[in-house]
Structure 1
């Protein structure tokens, strides 16, 4: 340990020793200059690639949003075939989701396509697109879960309907939509003769969402179940 300290002190106090260290460092850099340049180039390329890809995605998202404008108009006008498949000049949700799937607008096209197929009664196709939709927002992801529940409800697959309504109700609960999902969950539970599950969903509305439009129905329906038990 003492030897190590002495060596360090000698280097700091001796100009000759310092010169030797600098020369050794210069020699190492000269010998490995290609390696260092290569590492620097890789770092520069990685940074440039990241920002270049981000710029590319932003441009692609702008393109997808422009295409979405007409498709959304058709969807809201209930022209579902045009909304899904386009009109010859503008893409529909199906092609937007396929061609721009890595953009925000392309992701949203999955949601719209699923909702449109649900309206058309094409439940498997609806699920295919709704399951591809991913978001971390307050409202739309839960809405997608609820729509998947609707597809199963229409097919009388009440167990899966309950699963997705429950998923919707538990996703970022809020006073605007959660009571609706809980009501759907309760009604699907009743279809399964799951009285306990239905009561629990109704009671959650009564306890937590007394200002909602579903509050009075929840009280009425739970009273009916209590009277039958």
Structure 2
């Protein structure tokens, strides 16, 4: 009997630990295509989408404007009641009740959110505008972006990172982009695709050395 009770306690502890791990994962960046939500998702239809976005303070905004507003928010002002996941073809918005809607991304532009780092980073695939945090907050970073196939310069300037530690770049869709970030004598480089429906929008494996 004592052995059975011990086994039962072990199972309860393991189950609780698993639940806590799952909840902690929801607080981080979106590492998969599915939107983050604490409840079973319910798709909001087109007729209700306007009211839903108004509730969230995003009334009248297209995907580009919503991304710009949310990525620029001071961290302390970021909303806790919903997530906004930047995916190649859409911005997926989900509240904690499980309601979801999406805004189409520009047909000719792709959003890359990059977080160069010196000491610490996190795994990420689709940038979460309300939860992702990078190491370099409010820092000036020299950014150079080239069309890797043609050599065309897309970006070549110093950009101040947002309060969340990310740099937001709108680049052409359907190409390979060669990126170089420079900060305090250190650099990080990467080449990424903007052509695929599952290509990353969140770049965090950018160690400055």
By the TM > 0.5 criterion, same fold?
no
Q: Greater relative contact order: 1 or 2 (C-alpha under 8 angstroms, separation 6 or more)?
A: 2
Of Structure 1 and Structure 2, the greater strand share is in 2
After TM superposition, the score normalised by the length of structure 2 is 0.27
After TM superposition, the score normalised by the length of structure 1 is 0.25
Structure having the higher Rg: 1
